[in-house]
Amino acid sequence: MQPNSKTQLINYVQNFVSLEDDEAQQFATAFEEVKVKKRQFIVQPNFTNKHRSFVVKGAFRTYAITNEGQDHTLQFAIENWWASDFNSYIYQHPATLFIVALEDSTILQIEYEKEQELKKNSHKFETFFRIIAEKGLAFEHRRILFNLTHDAEARYENFSLNFPNFANRVPQYALASYLGMSTEFLSRIRNKRARAKS
């Protein structure tokens, strides 16, 4: 419960709405710090995702397993990103996704009920949550469009350009399944580009 992680959250929030000291205080105390070990799950199918989690430190992968056993990565989250099974969280229905820590991590979690309360009692907090939702939605639109219109190599290039942090930090199999290609194929793409550089 270092003050640090909460400060980080508040700084993040201030990017979107400006908070008075007491508001910042109120927002911060609604969250609880949790440490999560690598490979630990914070969301699992069949259990309702009761928290929204802000990543203070570490990395997470959100993925689904199809009935045929195929693994599809839907999202990554590192510092200053959020992790949740959004469908489970906002409807408070059982989750269908897994969210697993890729590294030892620290997160700040807010309970669903608590979040509703914050939003209900404060126009500003309402605004904040709207903004991050809209940005998230816009991001996904760009992503879907890009994926539909580009081949595997372009998707990889685009991703590693936009998120060099992620590209080097997440395991290759996870990135491949995020970009919609086999891990072998991604390995070849990377190799080819590495060779091209030298």
Residue 158 interacts with a second copy (CB under 8 A)? no
Residue number with CB closer to a second copy (8 or 73): 73
Entry field: residues in the chain: 198
CA separation, residue 192 to residues 25, 88, 170 (Å): 51, 40, 20
Residue 110 binding target from a second copy, DNA, none, CB below 5 to 8 Å by type:
none
Residue 105 DSSP SS3:
strand
Token pair belonging to 43: 């969301």
Report if residue 181 touches DNA, rule: CB under 7 A.
yes
**Could you tell me if 158 and 146 are in contact, meaning their C-beta atoms sit under 8 angstroms apart?**
yes
Site for a second copy in 45-64 (CB under 8 A): 47
C-alpha span between 155 and 33 (Å, rounded)? 35
Q: How far apart are CA 52 and CA 103, in angstroms?
A: 19
Is 44 a binding residue for a second copy by CB under 8 A? The answer is yes
Whose Cβ is closer to DNA: residue 21's or residue 151's?
Answer: 151
Kindly state whether residue 139 participates in binding a second copy, applying the rule CB under 8 A. Answer: no
Find the radius of gyration of the CA atoms of the chain.
18
Among DNA, a second copy, none, what binds residue 41 when CB lies within 5 to 8 Å by partner kind? a second copy
* Residue 52 CB burial class (10 angstroms; 0-12, 13-18, ≥19): buried
**Which residue's CB is nearer to DNA, number 13 or number 167?**
167
Task: Based on the shown chain and the rule CB under 7 A, indicate whether residue 120 belongs to the binding site for DNA.
Answer: no
Q: Which stretch in 28-36, 109-117, 123-131, 178-186 sits in contact with DNA by CB under 7 A? A: 178-186
Which residue ranges make up the site for a second copy (CB under 8 A)? 39, 41, 44, 47
Q: Please give the residue ranges that form the binding site for DNA (CB under 7 A).
A: 38-39, 151-153, 171-173, 180-185, 187-188, 190-191
